Structures are given as C-alpha cells and as structure tokens.
Amino acid sequence: MSENSTPAPTPTPGTPASDHGFTLRKRSKAPWIAGGAVVVLAAGAFIAVPLLNPAESAAETDGATLLVATAEGNHAEQALIEFIDREVAPKHGIDIEFKGLSDSNTINRAVSEGEVAATVYQHELWLGQVLEANPDFRETAVTPVFRWGFGIWSDKYTSVDQIPDGGTVSLYSDPANEAQGLWLLERAGLITLKEGINKWEATQDDIATNPKNLTFTLLDFGAQSRALPDLDAAVGYTEYYVAAKVPLEKQIFAPAAPDEFASQLTVGTDYLDTDNIRKLTEAFADPAVQEFLETDPLVKDLLLPIESP
C-alpha cells in the first residue's frame, strides 16, 4: 500500500509515503482497490506520465540492475527493498535497487513498460482496478511479500466495546480501503455485512446490521490521523499513525489483514519468462525476507510478515 521517489538516505521507521497507492476513486460495484492519494484516470484519458526511457528493459538484460519502485518517501518499503538488495538478491544472482516514483500511474506504467522491474506497493485487488482503469497496462502479481499494519484507532477508548452508540468512525476515502475498513469493523463485531457479497468490494450500502448506529466519515490518509481526537474511532494504516506521532497503544484492534490485502511483488507481464524476473521473484519469496519483517525495527509493526498471526 505508495508514490514517486528518490531514495531517502537513511530509512526512518514510521514515515509513510505521501500515498499508499490507494486512491482510485470509483463508486460503482466494480472491484476498485488499494496501498495514499493516487488518482487512476479512466481508460482512454490522456495521462501525462514521466517515463524513465531505458534503451532496453533491465528485465531482459543479463547483469542489469533491477529497479524496484514504490512511492516516494515510503521509508518502510524502501528499507525492505534495500535489505533485499544487500542480503538476499546476491544469493539469487541479481542486483536490485530501490526507486521512488511519484504516484500510482507512474509506478504502474513504468512496471508495465519494463522501465522498472517491479513494485511492492499494491495488493492484487488494487492492481485489478488499476488494470480495469488502464487496459493498456500489462502487469502480473507474482508473489505476496508482506501485510500492511492496519487497525482500528481511538483517542478516547481502549476497546472497541467502548465505542458508544451513535459514535463517529472514519474510513479511508478510496473504495478499496473503505472496503477493507468495513471488513475490519465486521471482524471487530461492530457491524455485519450482507451475505454473499465480495467483502473486498464492500461499500456502506452493503452493511446489513449496525447495532451501535455508527456514523461513518470518509477521510484521506493524512487527514484521518490528524482528525483522530475529534472521532470516536478510525480505521487506518499503522504507518500513517506512527508518522503522525500517535502512540501505537491507540490502535485498539488490529488482526492480520486478509490475504486479499497482502502486498504483492508485481512485474510487467511481458517479462514474466525472463531469467531476471524469475530470480527477482525468488529473492522476494526468500524466507530471509519474512525474518526481516518480523524483527527489524525499521519495518516492525508497519510491514507485517505474510504468516503474521
């Protein structure tokens, strides 16, 4: 869940990207998804996207450095990629490098066209809505890498049971993360969703029961953490709250994210069969990556292992 970037000199825990890759705005029932303030334009619209313009894709070039892009300023994802570059990629016979880019369109177009080798900023559902909105993009998710920390936060209460009748709860303002928030509220016992729906596509119209008569307000990533004192609760990404200096104890409910919301290593479909992309996939699937996610203070609590309990 990310934007443009040049690598920051030293990753700092708790500083989020200017977007998580998650603001595709669409209110139809089509599956629009997540990872920050990003706008994906409808297919057919002109998109002015700066390109890196390589003479040949590094994915097809023996010995080339493989760029892995996320949103500019996302220090947790940068720390992960730089760890893999130092400690894991050499074991798999490749050299990788972090590349920060400005927004979702730039990242996904660069991956699709082979200007960068891959990204880890999005989950499969977000990728699905990116491809729906941009049918000229050719990208494939090849392996899950991590789960973003995501939970219910409150400045007033220490348990979801304490959230009062008629309380105000903020969800993120993009459809994908709104759906993830509703799913989390259901897991917390605060609402139920209608039977038979795809919960990763849920909207407020899909709420079956709301026993506490909660009112929902939609806010973007940075605004939500700033507004926490004025809300009864909010559902959002750990990295934004930690960056806003909100104590982790204010996260009152945070089960592991469902599989549908795991970050995926995403590559250009046209390069799937190259040796470089095969080795890159192996490197990101290496068990050392999960150990790093579980133990390193640069990412701990922000990026969670795939097998997190």
- Cα 158 to Cα 59: distance, rounded to the nearest angstrom: 49
**3-class SS of residue 278:** helix
Q: Give Rg (Cα) of the chain.
A: 19
E strands, 6-47, in order? none
Show the tokens assigned to 221: 């990533």
- Cα 118 to Cα 126: distance, rounded to the nearest angstrom: 15
Give the least confident one: 2-11, 96-105, 207-216, 241-250.
2-11
What pLDDT, on a 0 to 100 scale, did the predictor assign at position 55? 58
User: What is the percent of the chain with per-residue pLDDT over 70, rounded to a whole number?
Assistant: 82
Nearest CA to 17 out of 69, 67, 72 is that of: 72
Q: Which domains does the chain have, with CATH numbers?
A: 1-149+257-309 (3.40.190.10), 150-253 (3.40.190.10)
Q: State mean pLDDT over 115-134.
A: 91
**pLDDT averaged over every residue in the chain:** 84
Residue 46 has pLDDT above 70, yes or no: no
What pLDDT, on a 0 to 100 scale, did the predictor assign at position 228? 97
Q: How confident is the model at residue 109 (pLDDT cuts 50, 70, 90)?
A: very high
The kind and range of the H/E element at 276 are helix 275-284
Q: State mean pLDDT over 76-88.
A: 97
Show the tokens assigned to 55: 């003479």
What pLDDT, on a 0 to 100 scale, did the predictor assign at position 28? 37
Q: State mean pLDDT over 163-175.
A: 95
Give the least confident one: 24-33, 55-64, 176-185, 291-300.
24-33
Nearest CA to 190 out of 173, 172, 218, 165 is that of: 165
More confident residue, 256 or 106: 106
What pLDDT, on a 0 to 100 scale, did the predictor assign at position 178? 93
- Cα 128 to Cα 135: distance, rounded to the nearest angstrom: 10
